[in-house]
Amino acid sequence: MSKGIDIEGFSRFLDQIRQGVTTDLHGFIEANAQIVEKLSAEGAMLSNGRESIQWDDATLIFVAAREVEKDGGPARALDQGISIERLGRFPSEDGNPIGYLRRYLLDESPEKLGERLLAQLDVGLRSEIRGDDFLSNGFGGMSLHGWLTDSDVTNLRSFLQQAKWKVAKDEVFDGGVREIVRHLSIMLKAAEKRGVGIIMRSHT
């Protein structure tokens, strides 16, 4: 996820437009030049009004959030090894490794930071937290789950590595939690090194 992109603020703005609470595109453009520049580079001109953009809200968020190189091309993958593939192919019923962690990793920290960050990554843009899927369901079967800021990435990586958690006794796949934690930690460390956040998506 690109540096300095305020997903929470952009999400709130899109909600307010959809609900008719605001039409103040000028104020948003003035305060969020980086988001506007990225969308404009892909042909979505907010200055012409939200109604002029045919993209759904989830696609707007994804395009605004994704990291790109200076030439506008896609940024190199965070993981050059097998971690992203192993996470994407985890054999749970729904194929969602973060959802699996939320079920079988027990947060023993008093502030429940790991539990909260895993939920934000898994369902921060979905109906479980929001009550609707306007910011989750996108074009071509894309589904946005949630995101972590750069500071969230550091906090979750620290939580996982400090082992302030244990595995539930009824875990379905023996060693599954620890395998996911290992590969997720690699991804988080790579994002932390690059100074970026992450966004979770899937496709149907």
DSSP assignment of 22-39, as one string?
---HHHHHHH-HHHHHHH
| pLDDT range class, residue 190, cuts 50, 70, 90 | very high
Q: Where exactly are the structural domains of the chain?
A: 7-65, 83-203
CB neighbour class for 54 (10 Å; exposed up to 12, middle 13-18, buried from 19):
exposed
Of residues 71 and 34, more confidence is placed in 34
Say what the pLDDT of residue 47 is: 82
Say what the pLDDT of residue 157 is: 97
Q: How far is CA 47 from the centre of its chain?
A: 26
pTM summary value: 0.91
What percentage of the chain reaches a pLDDT higher than 70?
99
The whole-angstrom separation of Cα 155 and Cα 89 is: 25
User: Is pLDDT of 75 > 80?
Assistant: no
User: Is pLDDT of 196 > 90?
Assistant: yes
Say what the pLDDT of residue 51 is: 85
| pLDDT range class, residue 71, cuts 50, 70, 90 | confident
- 59 is written with which tokens? 């696609």
- Tens digits of residue pLDDT in 23-70: 778 888 888 888 888 898 888 888 888 888 899 999 999 999 988 777
- 7 is written with which tokens? 């997903």
Over range 136-163, report the average pLDDT: 95
Would you call 55 helix, strand, or coil by DSSP? coil
- Tens digits of residue pLDDT in 94-144: 889 999 999 999 999 999 999 999 999 999 999 999 999 999 999 999 999
Asked if 72 and 41 count as a contact pair (C-beta separation under 8 A), the reply is yes
Residues 6+ away with beta carbon under 8 Å from 127: 133, 136
Nearest residue to 135 (alpha-carbon basis) of 13, 33, 43? 13
